Structure 1
Amino acid sequence: MATISSSSKILIVGSGVFGISTALWLARSGYGDVTVLDMQDTANTAYDPSCGVDSASADLNKIIRFSYGSEIEYQRLATEASKMWDEWNREIEEASINELPERLRYGDRKLWWNAGMLRMSCESDLGDFEIATLENMEREGIREFQFIADDDIDISRARERGWAHKLDPCRRQERFGTHKAVLDSTAGFVYAHKSCAWAQHLAKRAGVEMILDPRRGKVIDITTTNNQPVVHTADGLQHTANIVVVAGGGWTPSLIPEVQGLLETTAGSVANVTIPKDRPDLWKRFAPEIQPVITWGSRQGKEVYSLPRDENGTFKIGWRKTKWTNFEDVREQRISVPRTAHVTDHKETRIPIDALNGIKEYISVNFPELVPLGITSTRLCWYTDSIDNSFVVDFVPGRPGVAVCSGGSGHGFKFLPILGREVVKILEGKGSQTVYGRMWRWRSSSDHTRNGLEEGEEGWRVLSRQTMASEADWSFKDQ
């Protein structure tokens, strides 16, 4: 562990959620020499995926939820983060146009939408995770904000509070005769790219320097000289620092090979449907005022989610039953690395046919009115999974001054406003004194099953083994 002081030179690799939140909180905590490096120009693109940015953080929207089963620590941290999301909304609403980053000066200026989240079961009863979540929320005194869709008392309470119209937006009770679900009225979503752009704006305002460039900001290696980390960038320069925090999302394992067995780069599958503005019936129906975030799951492994349409009419559906891997040669090792639409040498915009079929089933069953529209686009969303889905924030053993801040496992975005606060404590050596420092420490597992990381390149999730869906598969020909 390195000694850190207010004058320490700190380099952060990656400007996504983990990196930019860490930079913001370091600057706010009095550290005056903080620089963020990124090979993508997330400043001028404002993290907008339509501008060619590839990362899990550069997305249209992300779910904000507080349902964590028995993981009460994450539930509490998410609840605390929600207060900061509210504060960010207020700051943006009250700011003059000139005080905002350019991308927040037009369209929806609100980041966080309390649209609710409907946790919908494919089966005739609620699963164990749902029951554990409700029990935890009862103990925390927030069960009153959860509404079981077929419970008369909860339905009445939802009606009184103005949430009844979101209990069954897919009309499952009417169409199938049963509807098992819980509506969380505290949850919703955020505009992801705008949220990161706002966090970057705050970090710059606090004094953080940014090097966001495909050569000057691209880190190709991290070595050690005189017991200090040295960052090598693609322009041939070397940057010596006191602390280097690697928060590279799906690129983290290729920069820090020591995380093998603890972190693995994986991808979820995403598809979009464009809701046309000249269909006012659909435009209204899929608006966040009417449509909640929805998750659709079963014990048999269905795991699909959707979010309300955005201001441009994009209705996003994600399939997370399987998280794909992509192994390539990295420093004489076979490591799973991203294969994206824009940044990587090998480009990929397709998703496996199994994922597309799962998304099409979700649409056909729950939103048949969208079938004639078909799928508009697909992409793979690359991030890192940890062995237990908990984050990894700690100094790398045997690498003086080098810390890793990764392992979002698909649920990290909601913590953007607050994550860096806990990271700073860990960098200051206080990790053993905090619940999150202990949860996110460097660790290993002897379990036979380690969240898929035990499969390696022999596993069936490897992308090269999949049949990839083509654009011809986007239509619902048999519907």
Structure 2
Amino acid sequence: MPSGTEKAKEKFMQGVEKTRAPAEGSGVFGLSTALWLARSGYRRVTVFDMQDTASAGYDPGAGIESASADINKIIRFSYGSKIEYQRLASQAAEIWDEWNRDIAGLAEDELPEVLRRGQRQLWYKCGFLRMGAGSEFSDFELQTLRNMEKEGIRDTQFKSDDDAGEFLVSEVLLAFVAAHIERAERNGWAHKLDVCRRRERFGVHKAVLDSSAGFVVAYKACAWAQHLARKAGVEFILDREKGKVVGIDMTDHHKPVVRTADGVAREGDLIVVAGGGWTAGLLPEAEGLIETTAGSVATIQLPKDRPDLWDRFSPENFPVVTWGMSEGTGNDKDIYSFPRDENGIIKIGFRKTKWTNYSDVAGKSISVPKAAEKNIPMPAIEGIKEYISVNFPELAGLGLSSTWLCWYTDSIDNSFVVDFVPGRPRVAVCSGGSGHGFKFLPILGREVVKILEGKGDQTVYGQMWKWRASTAEKRNGLEEGEEGPRALEKQQMASREDWVF
């Protein structure tokens, strides 16, 4: 029988429903929700996914296709005017630190299999270099720094020079630069302030290094979160038939039902659809609010006989880097890259254009993931190769070693969507990660549970993430539809021959 606390909630979860497709069935949004529900006293929490993420350890090399099942993801706190996300990311970082400590202190047989191999560490505070592509700091960057000041963490940010520098004579500018570099040296970060030698090579380097940021090993982090959820009592149904959700219905007595590909219908008290790129396919009413889009990813494999490159691009010597990201200055490049991982892989991503793939879903044309697509469009290849040629010319001779499309779910305003679905009693949605959700894995579910318990109107995140509409002319590309220029079918896809510089 439930305890008094559990009884008071009277919302025991039978299913935390994920997706019917190779996307994020047991990805970040679903994992975090399930973990926090279980830890909040809910029973019979069940996660459905058609992929066996447990056996594969979320390893993308084992064939798991999901935005969450990735090599690595950025942990950042730079959010321009959106200070609420900055604050939530800072709270999540405290738990990332805790998870690192917990894992380091456990015996090998107490860890999920994937964490018994190689390095155990999930979260690397290697720094995050926000590098401009032009000669001035963007409004986004300046607003970010103002918010860092407001939160009392401005001292974690190291500027490459002063934004007033262009109005000063060169001697004074050099003094400003020297002062910033001296502070970075004093704190042990100077070697990461201009890793591309842009000031030496181009005479200008507008960048900010966030010493509190870095990256997490994504697939190991998901495996750890699933491990914690299982320990908390969450059940996982991970099977191509039993875990593949094909529909959500309602019983005569107003209980939601999950239908899976094996023909079984499971009734629940509440269903949370956290399906990543397949969410809109299960909830057609979300059309116009969220849209499945793909970012383009490429990798470079460092040769093992090049210790100079292994050392240069290690997390100890190299930060996460973005180039011309969301600047709004006409110099937008929207490229990001990571230090090498433990296997010598450098991952580089292109987000300037987010591709769509429209298909018929229950009579509606909806963008859905294009499974197993390993090629990326030519504009993405060209953007990635430009980034490497300009900033890391020593890597150009190696060529690219792989490419793929990473399927996200964008919302109309890049803010998450966590709310009950209009017209569907006891069915909620948890989606709209918009390419920046992973960092919140340890803490997102805390806010989701508040919303599911009807406290959304009392929290800033419940207000930000509620079901909404927009009449704006531009809605993050969602206004384009299947006739828009981002449709994959309209793109020339790159081949292996295009990987060579």
Alignment of 1:213-252 (within 5 A): 213-226=239-252, 227-252=254-279
Q: Distance in 2 between matches of 1:63 and 1:465?
A: 30
**Residue of structure 2 in register with 1:72 after alignment:** 83
Q: Does residue 82 of the first structure (1) align with residue 72 of the second (2)?
A: no
**Residue of structure 2 in register with 1:460 after alignment:** 485
**Residue of structure 1 in register with 2:105 after alignment:** 94
**Residue of structure 1 in register with 2:334 after alignment:** 303
From 207, 215, 227, give the equivalent of 1:201: 227
Deviation at 1:9, TM superposition (A): 2.4
The secondary structure found in structure 2 opposite 1:385 is strand
**Residue of structure 2 in register with 1:398 after alignment:** 423
**Residue of structure 1 in register with 2:394 after alignment:** 369
Deviation at 1:4, TM superposition (A): 5.4
Deviations 1:74-133 (A, max 9, x none): 000000000000000000000110110010012110000001000001111111100000
Q: Does residue 147 of the first structure (1) align with residue 174 of the second (2)?
A: no
Deviation at 1:359, TM superposition (A): 0.1
Deviation at 1:274, TM superposition (A): 0.3
Supply the AA of the counterpart residue of 1:471: R
Contact 1:340/1:380 (8 A) holds in 2 = no
Deviation at 1:318, TM superposition (A): 0.2
Change in 2 beyond 3 A, CA 1:141/1:470: same
Supply the AA of the counterpart residue of 1:453: L
Contact 2:11/2:270 (8 A) holds in 1 = no
**Residue of structure 1 in register with 2:210 after alignment:** 184
Q: Distance in 1 between matches of 2:306 and 2:213?
A: 28
From 439, 445, 463, give the equivalent of 2:464: 439
The secondary structure found in structure 1 opposite 2:16 is strand
**Residue of structure 2 in register with 1:327 after alignment:** 358
Q: Distance in 1 between matches of 2:14 and 2:195?
A: 52
Contact 1:393/1:440 (8 A) holds in 2 = yes
Q: Does residue 410 of the first structure (1) align with residue 435 of the second (2)?
A: yes
The secondary structure found in structure 1 opposite 2:454 is coil
Q: Distance in 1 between matches of 2:102 and 2:366?
A: 42
Q: Distance in 1 between matches of 2:28 and 2:90?
A: 17
**Residue of structure 2 in register with 1:345 after alignment:** none
Supply the AA of the counterpart residue of 1:27: A
Q: Distance in 2 between matches of 1:181 and 1:8?
A: 47
Deviations 1:42-86 (A, max 9, x none): 100111100001111000000000000000000000000000000
Deviation at 1:8, TM superposition (A): 4.0
Contact 1:6/1:32 (8 A) holds in 2 = no
TM-score by length of 2: 0.92
Q: Distance in 2 between matches of 1:217 and 1:130?
A: 43
Q: Does residue 134 of the first structure (1) align with residue 145 of the second (2)?
A: yes
Change in 2 beyond 3 A, CA 1:282/1:207: same
Sequence identity, in percent?
A: 67
**Residue of structure 2 in register with 1:429 after alignment:** 454
Supply the AA of the counterpart residue of 2:10: S
Deviations 1:137-193 (A, max 9, x none): 111111111000123332211111100000011111111111110000010000000
Aligned residues: 468
Q: Distance in 2 between matches of 1:8 and 1:402?
A: 11
Supply the AA of the counterpart residue of 1:287: S
**Residue of structure 1 in register with 2:10 after alignment:** 5
TM-score by length of 1: 0.97
Q: Distance in 1 between matches of 2:487 and 2:129?
A: 31
Deviation at 1:278, TM superposition (A): 1.0
Q: Distance in 2 between matches of 1:327 and 1:6?
A: 36
Contact 1:265/1:385 (8 A) holds in 2 = yes
Deviations 1:440-470 (A, max 9, x none): 0000011111000011011100000000000
Deviation at 1:309, TM superposition (A): 0.6
**Residue of structure 2 in register with 1:419 after alignment:** 444
The secondary structure found in structure 2 opposite 1:11 is coil
The secondary structure found in structure 2 opposite 1:310 is coil
The secondary structure found in structure 2 opposite 1:210 is strand
Q: Distance in 1 between matches of 2:267 and 2:425?
A: 12
Alignment of 1:272-287 (within 5 A): 272-287=299-314
**Residue of structure 2 in register with 1:264 after alignment:** 291
Q: Distance in 1 between matches of 2:220 and 2:462?
A: 29
From 15, 30, 33, give the equivalent of 1:19: 30
The secondary structure found in structure 2 opposite 1:43 is helix
Q: Distance in 2 between matches of 1:152 and 1:434?
A: 44
Deviations 1:308-362 (A, max 9, x none): 1100111000000000000001000100000122xxxxxx110000000000000
**Residue of structure 2 in register with 1:174 after alignment:** 200
Q: Distance in 2 between matches of 1:4 and 1:320?
A: 42
Q: Distance in 2 between matches of 1:225 and 1:448?
A: 39
Supply the AA of the counterpart residue of 1:9: Q
Q: Distance in 2 between matches of 1:8 and 1:314?
A: 40
Gapped runs of 5+ residues in structure 2? Answer: 1-7, 19-24, 162-176
The secondary structure found in structure 2 opposite 1:421 is helix
Q: Distance in 2 between matches of 1:9 and 1:332?
A: 30
The secondary structure found in structure 1 opposite 2:55 is coil
Q: Does residue 313 of the first structure (1) align with residue 344 of the second (2)?
A: yes
Contact 1:12/1:23 (8 A) holds in 2 = no
User: After the TM superposition, which parts of structure 1 deviate over 6 Å for at least 4 consecutive aligned residues?
Assistant: none
Gapped runs of 5+ residues in structure 1? Answer: 342-347
**Residue of structure 2 in register with 1:60 after alignment:** 71
Deviation at 1:277, TM superposition (A): 1.5
Deviations 1:202-236 (A, max 9, x none): 00000000000110000011111121111110011
Contact 1:12/1:34 (8 A) holds in 2 = no
